[in-house]
Every structure is written in structure tokens, then in C-alpha cells.
Amino acid sequence: MRRRTFLLASLLLSTPVRAAAASVAYPPVRPGAGLVFPRDHGAHPAFRNEWWYVTGALDTPIADTGFQLTFFRSRPGTAEDLRSPLAASQILFAHAALTIPGDRLRHAERAARANLGASFSSADCDVSIGAWRIFRQADGPGELLRLQMQSPQFSYDFTLTPSQPLLLQGDGGYSRKGHSAQLASYYVSWPQLVVSGSLLHDGHRHPVGGRAWFDHEWSTALLGDGAVGWDWLGINLADGGALMAFRMRDAEGRTLFAHAAWRDNAGHLRQFDPASVEFAPLRHWTSPRSGALYPVEIEVRIGDRSLRTRPLLDDQELVTSQPLSVVYWEGLVRVEGGFRGRGYLEMTGYAGKLQW
């Protein structure tokens, strides 16, 4: 569940643009669309938001190193009538982060408009900003994903080899985000990807190994009534299973909507309705930067099991500046209890109300 694009888009848009956005006819998200791959790995530029999101945990060179690379595509509804190829009708952002245990979180970002330093394909997964890129390669017997990014502090060039089939979230990829039917997205996950490649860090190039999680989601819907943010988890379970859970929160921290999906190591997928998913904060960490109070340790009950999150580092808060400042917590956690594994926890809307 990656809804922070809404936030970025909304910040990018000021009043007159939002008025213009209202006049743009975004397609609705409907159940039963029947996703086709690799076509649906590519971009869906007619929709308002889209993201390609990869998180993972490395075992080498340093165990429990977390990484994240996300590309966002936004169609803000501006400059729609321009014939100019430079029209800012499709904007791309990218965030990258690296968490090394015992160190601080490092992150980098990029932003550009399509056709001017950024591009995306509508036929397959291939999105780039400058030399940053996520793309799918289908040569030879199998297929794989490549991640490339460079920043002054760290760079990586990873190859992700699938070990399991795609996981279509919700109803064949139609994923509900609220009680109202419009609050939904198309959502495809690809858990348990095997990571290889190299990480350049502190001037040294290291070969890496680990496991990653790929999400691709696109939608038109905005944040639901009363929601200020969300908590989300995507965990590669130690036994080979995959677990995704999220909840939408209101200003008082109450759950407005929740959902979870668990595919066990036999490939059996179980979905959980809002009544079966419960988030309970156990320990908070206060950000010295934003002052936000994040429940870094959460107990999540999913059906009849429950898990606890243990962050590898308390401070995995991201403060991005391009094109505007966005503050959220996104980091590698270990889960214990009824489920065991590693993955990413994302918490938004804790550093003040979202601008929507």
C-alpha cells in the first residue's frame, strides 16, 4: 500500500491546478479488469498515480542491511492541453534509501518530468529518471528485474531474480483501500525476489545477496474521508511465505480500514477483512527532526495469529525535499511472534496532517 504519491501530488498542486485536475477524466479502478503481464508491469499514464516499489533485506556484505528504491509517476492534471513534448503532464519522482545496522539511514531522491530527464514505458516495467532506473529483462529462459541508482553516499546495481509467481492483491489485483468502492487501486506484488549485484558504499564496491519485495500499484483514488495516513507492512517470511498488511488511520489514530494478505510457503493465499486485522502500538520513537511520534514497534493481529515489529534502526525516517518536503517513516523491520521474517514497515501522516 503506497499512497504517499497522493501526498506528493497534492503538495505539488496548488489551488488553480487542483481546479484543473478536477476537469481531467481519470479512469476509475474497477474489479475484474483482468491484468495482463508484462503489459501491466508498464505504466498506466491515464491514472492519477502509479509507483514501482522495491524493498529488501541484504545478508551480504552486512547482514540486515535494508534498501528501498521507489519510482512514482503522477499525472497532476496540469498542462494537459499543451502540444509541447515537455508539458508537465506526467511527473516522476524517485526515492532511494539504505539502512545499515548501527549506522544511520541514508537516502537520495530524484524528480523530473517525463520527456525531460525522465521516461517510462507503457509496455513493460521500465521507468527511469536520469541514470536511475527500474526495468524488467526477459531475455533467456527467465525474467528478472534490474535496479540502478547512484548518489554521492551510495549507489547500487541490483538484479532481482523471481523465486515465486506474482501475487495479485485483493480481487485479482483490485485492492480496496476504504469502505467506499471508489477507494481502490490495482495492486501487484512480487515477494521473495533473490537479490544479487553490487552495492557501492563508502567508496567500496561490495557484491550483495538477499531477498526483496516488489510492488506495483496504480490508482486514481484520493485519501478516504477522515484519513490522515496509514501503516503498512510487506514481509518476506522466513519460511518462504509472504505477508502484506495495512490500515488507514484518522486524526485520533483510530483504524478506518484495514486489510491483510498472507501467501504461505505452499502458495496458498489467504485474505483478511478489516475485522480480522488489528494494529496496536507497543513502543514509540520520537523523531528529533520532525518531532513526529512513530510507533516503531507494533503488534499486528491477523486472523488468529499476531506479530510484533522490531525495527533494525529506530531512526528510519525520510525527509525528502524534491520537489517538496515529505516526512514519513519507512524502514527495515524484523517480525516476531506468529509470523517470522524481515520486511518493510511504512508509517505516514505522523508528522502533521496530510495536505489533502
Partner 1 sequence: MTTLACWLIRAQFRSRRAATLLSMLAIALGVALGYAIHLINDAALADFSRAMRAVQGDPDALIAGRDSSGGVPLASINEIASDPAVLVVAPVIETRVRVGSTPLRLIGIDVFSAAAVMPGLLPRSAAGGAGGDILAGAVYASPALLDKLSLPIGATLTLMRGDQQWSTRIAGDLPATDQNDLLLVADIAWVQEHFGPTDAVSEGRIRLAPGIDAATWRATTAQLLPDGLLLRAPEDDSARAANFSRAYRVNLNVLALVALLTGAFLVFATQLTAVAQRSTQFALLGVLGLSPSLRLLQILCEALAIGAPGALFGVSLGYMLALAFTQLVGGDLGGGYFSSSTPAIVPRIAPALAFFALGCAASLAGAIYPAFLNRSQPLAQALQAGFAQIVEAGGVRRRGWLPPVLLALTAFVLSRLPPWYELPLAAYAAIALLLVVGITSAPLLTRNLFAWCAGRRLPAAQQIALQNVAQAPLMAQVAASGLIVSFALTASMVIMVSSFRTAVDHWLDQVLPAPLYLRSKATPLPQSLLDALMQADAPFARVERTAHTSLTLDPQHPAVALIVREIERGNPAARLPITGPLLAPPADRTPVVWISEPLREIYRIEAGQWLRLPLLGRTVEGFIGGVWRDYSRQFGALVISSDDYRQLGGDFHPTDLALWPLPGRDAAAWLAPYVASHGLELADAGDIRRSSLSIFDKSFAVTYALEAAAMLIGLFGLAVTLAAGVRLRARELAMLGALGFSRRMLSHAVMLEGALIAVVGLAIGLACGIAIGAILTHVVNPQAFHWRMPLQIPWAAVVCSALSTLGAAVVASHYAARRATRLPLARILASA
Out of 31, 253, 323, 338, the residue judged to bind partner 1 by CB under 8 A: 323
Residue with smaller CB distance to partner 1, 141 or 152: 152
Q: How far is the CB of 45 from partner 1 (least distance, A)?
A: 16
Residue with smaller CB distance to partner 1, 25 or 266: 25
Residue with smaller CB distance to partner 1, 12 or 193: 12
x-marked contacts with partner 1 along 159-198 as a string, rule CB under 8 A = ----------------------------------------
Residue with smaller CB distance to partner 1, 51 or 213: 51
Out of 60, 121, 150, 306, the residue judged to bind partner 1 by CB under 8 A: 150
Which listed range, 123-131, 176-184, 217-225, 231-239, lies at the site for partner 1 (CB under 8 A)? 123-131
Out of 27, 28, 101, 130, the residue judged to bind partner 1 by CB under 8 A: 130
Q: How far is the CB of 157 from partner 1 (least distance, A)?
A: 10
x-marked contacts with partner 1 along 14-53 as a string, rule CB under 8 A = xxxxx-x---------------------------------
Alpha-carbon torsion, ordered 272, 303, 257, 77, to 10 deg: -40
Residue 324 touching partner 1 (CB under 8 A) = yes
Residue with smaller CB distance to partner 1, 88 or 147: 88
Residue with smaller CB distance to partner 1, 152 or 288: 152
Out of 102, 141, 142, 152, the residue judged to bind partner 1 by CB under 8 A: 152
Place of cell 516526512: 327
Residue 353 touching partner 1 (CB under 8 A) = no
Alpha-carbon distance 1 to 259, whole Å? 10
Which listed range, 46-54, 59-67, 264-272, 321-329, lies at the site for partner 1 (CB under 8 A)? 321-329
With CB under 8 A as the rule, give the number of residues binding partner 1: 35
Site for partner 1 in 52-91 (CB under 8 A): 76, 78-79, 82-88, 91
3-state SS, the chain, equals CCCHHHHHHHHHCCHHHHHHHHCCCCCCCCCCCCCCCCHHHCCCCCCCEEEEEEEEEEEECCCCEEEEEEEEEECCCCCCCCCCCCCCCCEEEEEEEEECCCCCEEEEEEEEEECEEEEECCCCCEEEECCEEEEEECCCCCCEEEEEEECCCEEEEEEEEECCCCEECCECCEEECCCCCCCEEEEEEEEEEEEEEEEEECCEEEECEEEEEEEEEEECCCCCCCEEEEEEEEEEECCCCEEEEEEEEECCCCEEEEEEEEECCCCCEEEECHHHEEEEEEEEEECCCCCCEEEEEEEEEECCEEEEEEECCCCCEEEECCCCCEEEEEEEEEEEECCCEEEEEEECCCCCCCCC
Q: How far is CA 303 from CA 73, 248, 300, in A?
A: 34, 18, 10
Residue 238 touching partner 1 (CB under 8 A) = no
Residues binding partner 1 (CB under 8 A): 11-18, 20, 76, 78-79, 82-88, 91, 111-113, 115-117, 119, 128, 130-131, 150, 152, 322-324
